[in-house]
A and B are shown apart, each in its own frame.
Chain A
Amino acid sequence: MRPGREIMGEMKLGVLCSGGKDSVFACGRAMEKEEVVCLIAIRSENEESYMFHTPNVAFVTLQAEAAGLPLIEMKTAGVKEEELLDLRNALILAREQFRIEGVVTGALYSVYQATRVQRLCRELGLWCFNPLWHTAQEDYMQVLIKKGFEVIVSGVFAAPFDESWLGRRIDLHSLPLLEKYSEQYGIMLTGEGGEYETFVLDAPFFRKRIEIREASSEYRNYRGIYRIVRAGLVEK
């Protein structure tokens, strides 16, 4: 009989982390079931990147520190398909440095993203997990809030989001409005269609929380970015 994972103990996993709610939540889920040994962040210079969410990804370093996890960080020009080579290099580095056996992503519905990461993992002999895959969006958003994830909106890219959403916390007050937008404007409640992006300031597995000390906003025609300029960790 081939040795099962149970026999071999917990699997060492690296979490592909954009700083947004889905990858940080997926990290927490992975921690409940296996051993997360590092975060992996791809910093794209292209704000239209097909694969990698960009606002505030530079501050994943604080999330890693808050979670007590090392971070593998790789820059990419963000050119379609070429950015996969940068991801590939990051995964190879994580495998070499932290002996990861698998990768976790926060993919919910994007076949485009999931397929590319699955192919890379296959090529590199790594397992691939997407614990939020085809999750029930309403339930997920409720759980996210109830479990204490502190999530802010770091970018909006669709109508009817106005400037007031930039930096706004996703909580039990703002969620009903997102649900209304979802019904009336067809946005995906989770923002998976790129309608909005998020950044996580606190999570149940963070030892400290992130405090934003300076930020700036740009907004025009239903598109805007909340850019963190300075931030640090504070006691919870």
Chain B
Amino acid sequence: MILLIDLCYREDSLGFDEYVLPVARIVERLGFRTRSVHFHAVSAGECSGVKAVILCGTPLADNAFLDEPEDFSWLKTSRIPVLGVCAGMETICRIFGGKLEPCIEIGMTEIRVTGRDPLFPESHSFSAYELHTLACTDPGPMKIIAVSDRCIQVVRHPTKPVYGVMFHPEVRNEWAVERFLSMTRKDGISP
């Protein structure tokens, strides 16, 4: 079971169709079952039986999730693999001590992999879809895995299987979700 967390401004919003459902379709196509829950409703027991968590993105104008950091405090103690997409990466950066600043990217952007990691095993560049008004300028303890000309694009926690990607992998880079989930399948995400 993969838990998809909806970070949009309210439960069952119009953003759910655009930012959660496309990720759910990728995950289900890979043979996993999914469950979706709004970030307000994530409880301590929510992650029981969950193999991995994906924090999904939000509309460009929607940064309401940043106002309620206590809703994400479970990330600090969880050992479950987590992939944060866009708003999800911003959340992860904030929770683990990083800093966000205004940085707008809308549309296709070139991303360069700068750090070795199981999720990005080779140094290479790829084009990805971006939709954000903030970016992580100080990653805190997080390791930087990839960057664009404008900002940090991929981070990983130094000791936990927690990743953040600033780009939207559900648009033209489904392989990133696939690779993340294949690592959870093998229980192979080691620091």
Task: List A residues at the B interface (Cβ < 8 Å).
Answer: 1-2, 4-6, 29-30, 33-34, 102, 104, 111, 115, 118-119, 121-122, 125-136
In the complex, the answer to whether B18 meets A130 with C-beta atoms within 8 Å is: yes
Cα–Cα, bound, A102→B9 (Å): 14
In the complex, the answer to whether B60 meets A122 with C-beta atoms within 8 Å is: yes
In the complex, the answer to whether A131 meets B18 with C-beta atoms within 8 Å is: yes
In the complex, the answer to whether A33 meets B14 with C-beta atoms within 8 Å is: yes
Cα–Cα, bound, A104→B14 (Å): 9
User: Cβ of B10: which chain A residues have Cβ within 8 Å of it?
Assistant: 4-6
In the complex, the answer to whether B107 meets A33 with C-beta atoms within 8 Å is: no
User: Cβ of B161: which chain A residues have Cβ within 8 Å of it?
Assistant: none
Chain A residue at minimal CB-CB distance from B61:
A127
In the complex, the answer to whether B129 meets A111 with C-beta atoms within 8 Å is: yes
User: Cβ of B67: which chain A residues have Cβ within 8 Å of it?
Assistant: 1-2
User: Cβ of A129: which chain B residues have Cβ within 8 Å of it?
Assistant: 14-15, 18, 59
User: Cβ of A136: which chain B residues have Cβ within 8 Å of it?
Assistant: 25
Cα–Cα, bound, A122→B172 (Å): 23
Query: Which residues B44-94 have CB closer than 8 A to chain A?
Result: 59-62, 64, 67-68
Chain A residue at minimal CB-CB distance from B29:
A136
Q: Which of B14, B61, B129 has the most CB of A within 10 A?
A: B14
Cα–Cα, bound, A111→B18 (Å): 13
In the complex, the answer to whether A111 meets B171 with C-beta atoms within 8 Å is: yes
Q: Which of B10, B17, B131 has the most CB of A within 10 A?
A: B17
Pick 8 A–B contacts, CB within 8 A, sort by A: A1-B68, A111-B108, A111-B129, A111-B171, A118-B60, A119-B107, A121-B61, A122-B106
User: Cβ of B34: which chain A residues have Cβ within 8 Å of it?
Assistant: none
Taking the complex as formed, is B13 at the interface, i.e. its CB lies under 8 A from any CB of chain A? yes
Task: List B residues at the A interface (Cβ < 8 Å).
Answer: 9-10, 12-15, 17-18, 21-22, 25, 59-62, 64, 67-68, 104, 106-108, 129, 131, 133, 170-172
With A111-B171, A119-B106 given, is the CB distance from A5 to B9 under 8 Å?
A: yes
User: Cβ of B22: which chain A residues have Cβ within 8 Å of it?
Assistant: 133-135
Output the least CB separation between B164 and chain A (Å): 21
Q: CB < 8 Å: which of B18, B64, B131, B171 contacts A5?
A: B64
User: Cβ of B106: which chain A residues have Cβ within 8 Å of it?
Assistant: 115, 118-119, 122
Q: CB < 8 Å: which of B14, B60, B64, B171 contacts A131?
A: B14
Cα–Cα, bound, A130→B98 (Å): 30
Cα–Cα, bound, A85→B61 (Å): 21
Output the least CB separation between A91 and chain B (Å): 14
User: Cβ of A33: which chain B residues have Cβ within 8 Å of it?
Assistant: 12-14
Q: CB < 8 Å: which of B59, B108, B129, B133 contacts A127?
A: B59
Chain A residue at minimal CB-CB distance from B23:
A134
In the complex, the answer to whether B17 meets A133 with C-beta atoms within 8 Å is: yes
In the complex, the answer to whether A122 meets B104 with C-beta atoms within 8 Å is: yes
Output the least CB separation between B183 and chain A (Å): 23
In the complex, the answer to whether B61 meets A126 with C-beta atoms within 8 Å is: yes
Cα–Cα, bound, A126→B62 (Å): 11
User: Cβ of A111: which chain B residues have Cβ within 8 Å of it?
Assistant: 107-108, 129, 171-172
Output the least CB separation between B85 and chain A (Å): 13
In the complex, the answer to whether B14 meets A29 with C-beta atoms within 8 Å is: yes
Chain B residue at minimal CB-CB distance from A139:
B25
Output the least CB separation between A7 and chain B (Å): 9
Output the least CB separation between B49 and chain A (Å): 26
